[in-house]
Amino acid sequence: MSFARTGLPLLRRRLDHHHVPTPWRLCVVLPARRRSSDDQPRVRLCMAADIEHYSRFGNPEAMVAQERLLQVLRRARAHAGVEESAVITEGAGDSQFAILPENLDEARVVPLLIEGLAHAMRDVNRGLESHHRLRIRTAMDRGLLTPSVNGWVGTATIAVHRLLDSPALRSALAANTGVDHVVMASRTLFKDVLRHGYPGISPDAFREVGVDIPGKGFSEQAWLFVPG
């Protein structure tokens, strides 16, 4: 036993460290994310377009071709009375995917879109030699679409890209060298809108074709329009 100068004994205290076998975990329950009105599924018209043989262009020419493509698509939508600021677009160099605003009068807008494409393509190619001439494939569909974390969810968004890349649409443009664009409408769009003969375009201008893409598990009937 030892003593301090005060004469009192110093007590040596034993320190014990206590360990909790399992760390404590605090669970915080967060409120579920509420869907805003903008997240709700809505029926919308969607449209995709692609430049034929885009790889033939050098970089400066490709930039001009992209500008011409966007000019054509904006002009077609303006011709149909679609407010451009309400259009949602996704670009990919030689192509554009567009989701048009909801509550469109599709009986009026769809024929005018097709008509507007023809006018815009004629103007953009005026005076150009064959190398610089823009030729595009276009596909259209309608359906219930929902915005998600990495794009849009809905069968129409898938179908419009399958139609755009289909052998039937590619071969139609390749075989008709005298035209500068072709349009493919989905079975749904033709059945709900185009077959009824609303002003602007006759249903007889369309030809039914099969679209089979086994590698994508896609097989549907569609309707092809080649300008006469």
Indicate whether 3 pLDDT > 50: no
Cβ neighbours around 46 below 10 Å, total: 24
Q: How confident is the model at residue 27 (pLDDT cuts 50, 70, 90)?
A: low
Structural contact between residues 49 and 73, judged by C-beta atoms closer than 8 angstroms? yes
Of 31 and 117, the structure prediction assigns the larger pLDDT to 117
Of 16 and 86, the structure prediction assigns the larger pLDDT to 86
Taking Cα atoms as reference points, which of 68, 169, 176 lies closest to residue 126?
A: 68
Q: What is the per-residue pLDDT for 226?
A: 98
Q: What is the per-residue pLDDT for 125?
A: 98
Structural contact between residues 131 and 117, judged by C-beta atoms closer than 8 angstroms? no
Q: How many residues does the chain have?
A: 228
Beta strands in the chain (DSSP E): 42-51, 88-91, 95-99, 136-148, 151-153, 181-186, 206-213, 218-225
Q: How confident is the model at residue 40 (pLDDT cuts 50, 70, 90)?
A: confident
* Paired tokens of 83: 């407010």
Indicate whether 48 pLDDT > 50: yes
Bridge partner list, 91: 96
Model pLDDT for residues 163-178, shown as the tens digit of each residue: 999 999 999 999 999 9
Taking Cα atoms as reference points, which of 44, 91, 99 lies closest to residue 69?
A: 91
Q: Name every residue whose Cβ is closer than 8 Å to that of residue 143 and which is 6 or more positions away in sequence.
A: 43, 44, 46, 154, 155, 156, 157, 159, 188
- Considering the domain 40-225, what is its CATH architecture? 2-Layer Sandwich (3.30)
The DSSP 8-state label assigned to residue 215 in this structure reads G
Domain extent listing, the chain: 40-225
